[in-house]
Amino acid sequence: VMYFPIFEHYLTIYKLPKELMYLAIVESALDPTAKSGAGAAGLWQLMPHTARQYGLRVDGAVDERLDPYRSTEAAVRLLADLYAEYRDWRLVMVAYN
């Protein structure tokens, strides 16, 4: 799938399991323009506040959550931070949502 090399790249950089790439399928069905009723957007369904915490620009002019590269790095950094906090992938998945 066209986004998997991007996912693998960032997961490798942050030394996370490659299986985490499948989370994007669950979150967005691999639609980089996906938006939820709750305000999440992009491949990784990041909320605006979370996206901004990880350095993404989200405002009236630009929404970097829709950028496959920028949003993937932000999501992977979030997953790495959650794992550092919880040390349990099941808890990470719950916390991600």
Of 20, 1, 2, 6, residue with least CA distance to 71: 6
Contact present, 72 and 43 (Cβ < 8 Å): yes
Residues 6 or more apart in contact with residue 69 via CB below 8 angstroms: 6
Indicate if 27 belongs to the active site.
yes
Residue 39 DSSP one-character state:
S
Nearest to 42 by CA among 13, 12, 73: 73
Check 27, 64, 73, 85 and give the catalytic one: 27
**Active-site residue numbers?**
27
